[in-house]
Amino acid sequence: MNTSTGRSADAALDDVQLAAAVRAELATGAVRIHDTRTAAVRVDELVDGVLARDRATLGRALTLVESTHADHRGRATDLLAALLPHAGGAHRVGITGVPGVGKSMFIEALGTQLTAAGRRVAVQAVDPTSTITGGSILGDKTRMQRLANDPDAFVRPSPSAGTLGGVTRTTRETLLVLEAAGFDVVLVETVGVGQSETLVARMVDFFLALMLPGAGDELQGIKKGLLELADMIAVNKADGDNAQRAAAAAREYQIALHLTAPASPHWTPPVLTCAGLTGEGVETLWSQVEQHRRLLSESGDLERRREEQRVRWMWSMLDDRLLEALRTHPAVGKLLPELESQVRSGRTTPVSAVNTLIKTFLQD
């Protein structure tokens, strides 16, 4: 295992294999993870390595954070507590769009422009579809090869194990670890499916929705909820024959956005066109993202957004912990199958089953 700060193909492969092994174990229900490296490395060593921006250690720290194994959770909590004072410095940007909209290519174009300008960029993929279907839309390791080989960039594929709550936790914690590792920009990529957009929008400073060019029918597919979450809409693939269609689509999105109240009085979400393939429009787009940061920092809105996100984080963690405690409570566990079957057959009402379960839980 290479422990230098430079990008090593071996290190990358090791991390990928390690993550795959963890996923395989979790998928089969064998929760014991035979990861001698993760188990052997002390938390303070992980902390030092992350702060020293050592890529191999960063990979291990993230694997620990992604693990759901009870022993690992305790160490992950210690790791995060130590890293938290060093986090918070990155520009957090969420990017969403349906599969095929060109997220991968766009992020490569944006990421390489940013690293060429001297910024350090991390990309994190969030793909809750994988928790439902077992297959991953974003997990493909061959995506973003150019960026993955850039010494100033770090691409972390989506962990595909766990529940939506688990994905939420992992995403937040991964973001903090990446920030502690000194990345200036963290791009959080997600698919425009299910709750993933809301999940990511609630963790970032800026939320970008990529759209396909095309008018009429396709536009009818825009979800009102997405317009409310987006800080910018960019019609992607606005190159060649698509340019005109993209401009027409942009005009329609502009109209649709006018009907939605902006989240901040200091920012009206713009609609732009761009092309990840040619890089066209990407620089202009980023200058607007930075403008947003400036305006919202000055007005105090950015800090308020982060304050709300921290409080929401506390509550979602509390929800998760309570649910976990309930599910793993021995007396509750004994009652559950019988009560569930009684509810199923109508012999007990859901209300009375819940009352019994909560009472049992609170008795100990």
Footprint of ligand GDP on this chain (CB under 6 A)?
97, 99-105, 236-237, 239, 275-277
Least distance to ligand GDP, CB of residue 276, Å: 4
> Cα(118)–Cα(152) distance, rounded to whole angstroms?
8
Amino acid at the residue 356:
T
Nearer to ligand GDP, 180 or 274 (CB): 274
Least distance to ligand GDP, CB of residue 227, Å: 19
Q: How far is CA 352 from CA 342, 349, 355, 357, 358, in A?
A: 11, 5, 5, 9, 10
The DSSP annotation for 182-229 comes to T-SEEEEEEESSTTHHHHHHTT-SEEEEEE-S--THHHHT--HHHHHH
Nearer to ligand GDP, 275 or 332 (CB): 275
Least distance to ligand GDP, CB of residue 17, Å: 23
Nearer to ligand GDP, 289 or 335 (CB): 289
Least distance to ligand GDP, CB of residue 302, Å: 27
Least distance to ligand GDP, CB of residue 106, Å: 6
Least distance to ligand GDP, CB of residue 59, Å: 22
> Cα(275)–Cα(191) distance, rounded to whole angstroms?
18
Within a 10 A sphere around the Cβ of 224, how many other Cβ atoms?
9
Nearer to ligand GDP, 87 or 243 (CB): 243
Task: Give the residue nearest to ligand GDP (CB).
Answer: 102
In this structure, what token pair is assigned to residue 37? 């490296």
Q: How far is CA 182 from CA 130, 176, 205, in A?
A: 29, 10, 17
Which segments within the chain are labelled E, that is strand? 91-97, 121-126, 153-156, 185-191, 206-211, 232-235, 271-273
Give the 3-state secondary structure of residue 157. coil
Nearer to ligand GDP, 141 or 305 (CB): 141
> Cα(46)–Cα(140) distance, rounded to whole angstroms?
27
**Phi-psi bin for 290: left (phi > 0), alpha (psi -120 to 50), beta?**
alpha
Least distance to ligand GDP, CB of residue 162, Å: 22
Amino acid at the residue 143:
R
Least distance to ligand GDP, CB of residue 211, Å: 11
Nearer to ligand GDP, 110 or 357 (CB): 110
Contact 92, 204 (CB under 8 A): yes
Least distance to ligand GDP, CB of residue 77, Å: 33
Nearer to ligand GDP, 165 or 279 (CB): 279
Nearer to ligand GDP, 25 or 150 (CB): 150
CA geometry: angle 18, 105, 177, nearest 5 deg = 40
Nearer to ligand GDP, 95 or 201 (CB): 95
In terms of Cα–Cα distance, which of 153, 155, 145 is closest to 6?
153
